Structure 1
């Protein structure tokens, strides 16, 4: 059989308004949020002149996950991404666990990035350093993202395109200026101890995850089976190159200085004085806003997909008749994100997000051989017969290694959020909604 769920693949209530460029900016903004503005300082302090190579060391192995994920995405043109993969391969219960885990990953990342947004806003306007003003800012920003997504997915993607230019252009220009005026770092390149790499691994990975945002929007993407894999892999490669360039420039200008709470603002100040700090702080705000808008656009679609398949209460699957947006899911996501952002710090939320994503990546990769068999995919030929299974196995091993670095406090927060999902799942089952 070619498709076990043909009707489900076609019966979407959402409009297909996203093209290749829209998919690319969703993927880019999914990756590029707070991480690149927080990471260079800690990498420089911990690894010195070796820091740029850490970007490559952890950036390229991400393709061990991205390539199999792109292949499994090529079989689907419906909303849900990992929910759809797990449902077809492993059944409705695993689909729910996968979908809710991914919802938790995206939710905690969104909350983490909003806290960094508030921190960078405070560097420009110290009034936001007070708890009351910070709380109002976080609530206002989340409400703005909710409003943009309640309007329509087309409006959200349009905003992402503008934010992409506003955040990439200053970073790229300042990095090139630093390399032109400072040259390459003259520091000693010291190979780090393995234990040092282990300690930094999850925070480094946090700067790279998010490329998969686009797979969730399959039901709103034109020619999704071709568009999504190409946009995802091309964007990931471009982002790794940009991150490497920024880390190289930071090492040249700052050496092993960690730059304090806002390392790239300190980097800009070193190069261009206060004007440079302001430019980078604004770029950080645009970058984080783009990442959060990308999350607010795609994550509620996970709750919609779970409810559509009978795995969450039907309330989450309600779609606006005039705007074709999952309004209830958007409001639920933004409300829960506000609670998390006001009660937890960036580092813990970032690690929780990375932990949850890695588990979802592992399920999605494990689904690939089953989906290929059920969809009667053409047999692999030549070097692909050896290379593709090897990449898949290495990708799963990479996920297992990274998950093993998680600490107990991150598992506690993750477990509490899973409990919320279990309650919602029980409500759905008690209501007698058919799974799938």
Structure 2
């Protein structure tokens, strides 16, 4: 395949891919979600940011030693074998397309703010499906257009969010903060409760590593893009949350359905903040869907190359695994249809809970893989001078991800484990097919080639017969 189609992501585009996937639609509700716990939630956010940066650095280190498309899947398979690699790919794949459905449903409310009218399930369904398939069209066009959409959407959502975050500091009023800890229990308990809500704010740090095969000079750029994108997202998250906390009165923030809109209205007056934030939210979600659509195809593509996913996932055009894009789009669309037409909100909520657990499986395996590489003596794959630092980062990332699992809740873990184990049947099927093909190839190689005796030339007769003696 022509390299000019498959190596389109430079450092800037890869950074936008990370930021665009991390910052989705959830940021617009985060301040109100954690406000009931008090300002201790800001401390929780800071602790989470440290863990997310450690995880980003680990992905950067791993990408240096194995800069191939598939990211967490590649690391898990190389360290622990096919089965661990499959579990990583399976979990990540299911997380992406279910999350895409959730993002598509979330965008509907913001579209109604911009285009007011009488809502209906049919209209909402069409809006959600359009949000799913417009990014898919960009993906079909190739990595050049994926990168373009991602860069534009990230800039368009980053600038207004950063503007609100920075300008909000000039309107900051400490009287709006409320107490450090709200509710019963200890401050540590409140921080943990807030962290449980904030835990998944940084899902997406692996985006550059997942698409390493499409990044120019991946040994250097994947790690840089991962760290820069994570830090950029952290700046928006932390400053934005602090600005909203300081501009919106605490008792109003706890009940707010649009905290950033309320912050804009508090800073500048009027009631136009909702429109501004709705535009930013629509752009943010479209950008996230664009990036996550690519992610939904990259993991099964990498696994299919090793015979762990069906062969059609290998179909690739202009750097994008098109079959994976279609498969994820169809599955996400089906889930969206179930949500709107059948009214099975319970089914949709269960599957969304599953994604909260599924996101952590590839992270745990990747962090564990780095620990394995460091402790197994394979220091030719890592820089010896960085051994202690890299081991500390890997253990911090593993602990951070373990905290993610604990914060997912019993229901998410229970349902997520069941769905994870269901993938064993897929692995058994693919492993059996691969073994059968290998046995056929071995048997064919061991079978001697039949000799066509008619085609073999006979030895020439001697020109002079030996003399006859008595």
TM, length-normalised to structure 2: 0.82
Displacement of 1:127 after TM fit? 3.9
Q: Is the 8 A contact 1:185 1:253 kept in 2?
A: no
Displacement of 1:188 after TM fit? 4.3
Q: Is the 8 A contact 1:205 1:354 kept in 2?
A: no
Partner of 2:11: 20
Q: 1:197 aligns with which of 181, 191, 207?
A: 191
Q: Unmatched 5+ residue regions in structure 2?
A: 340-344, 439-470
Partner of 1:138: 128
Q: Is the 8 A contact 1:85 1:367 kept in 2?
A: yes
Q: Is the 8 A contact 1:202 1:354 kept in 2?
A: no
Q: Is the 8 A contact 1:313 1:427 kept in 2?
A: no
Q: For each residue in 1:20-69, what CA deviation from the matched residue of structure 2 results, as whole angstroms up to 9, or x when unmatched?
A: 0111000101111112112111112322x344333212212222322222
Residue 303 (1) aligns with residue 303 (2): no
Distance 1:426 1:357 in 2: 22
Q: Is the 8 A contact 1:12 1:219 kept in 2?
A: no
Q: Is the 8 A contact 1:102 1:357 kept in 2?
A: yes
Residue 331 (1) aligns with residue 333 (2): no
Displacement of 1:357 after TM fit? 2.1
The 5-angstrom pairing of residues 34-433 of structure 1 reads: 34-47=25-38, 49-127=39-117, 129-191=119-181, 193-256=187-250, 257-271=253-267, 272-320=269-317, 323-342=318-337, 343=339, 351-371=353-373, 373-374=377-378, 376-377=380-381, 380-381=384-385, 384-411=386-413, 413-415=415-417, 417-418=419-420, 421-432=423-434
Q: Is the 8 A contact 1:206 1:350 kept in 2?
A: no
Q: Is the 8 A contact 1:40 1:250 kept in 2?
A: yes
Distance 2:266 2:351 in 1: 30
Displacement of 1:286 after TM fit? 0.7
Cα gap change, 1:193/1:147 in structure 2, threshold over 3 Å: closer, same or farther? Answer: same
Displacement of 1:229 after TM fit? 0.4
| More contact order relative to length (CA 8 Å, sep ≥ 6) | 1
Q: Is the 8 A contact 1:112 1:347 kept in 2?
A: no
SS at 1:62 equivalent = helix
Cα gap change, 1:282/1:180 in structure 2, threshold over 3 Å: closer, same or farther? Answer: same
Partner of 2:455: none
Distance 2:271 2:352 in 1: 29
Displacement of 1:230 after TM fit? 0.7
Q: Is the 8 A contact 2:73 2:302 kept in 1?
A: yes
Cα gap change, 1:202/1:279 in structure 2, threshold over 3 Å: closer, same or farther? Answer: same
Q: For each residue in 1:112-150, what CA deviation from the matched residue of structure 2 results, as whole angstroms up to 9, or x when unmatched?
A: 222221122223334474222111111111111111111
Q: Is the 8 A contact 2:5 2:142 kept in 1?
A: no
TM, length-normalised to structure 1: 0.88
Displacement of 1:243 after TM fit? 1.2
SS at 2:272 equivalent = helix
SS at 1:18 equivalent = coil
Larger radius of gyration: 2
Q: Is the 8 A contact 2:405 2:413 kept in 1?
A: no
Q: Is the 8 A contact 1:13 1:324 kept in 2?
A: no
Displacement of 1:327 after TM fit? 1.5
Q: Is the 8 A contact 1:19 1:227 kept in 2?
A: yes
Displacement of 1:250 after TM fit? 0.3
Distance 2:417 2:400 in 1: 22
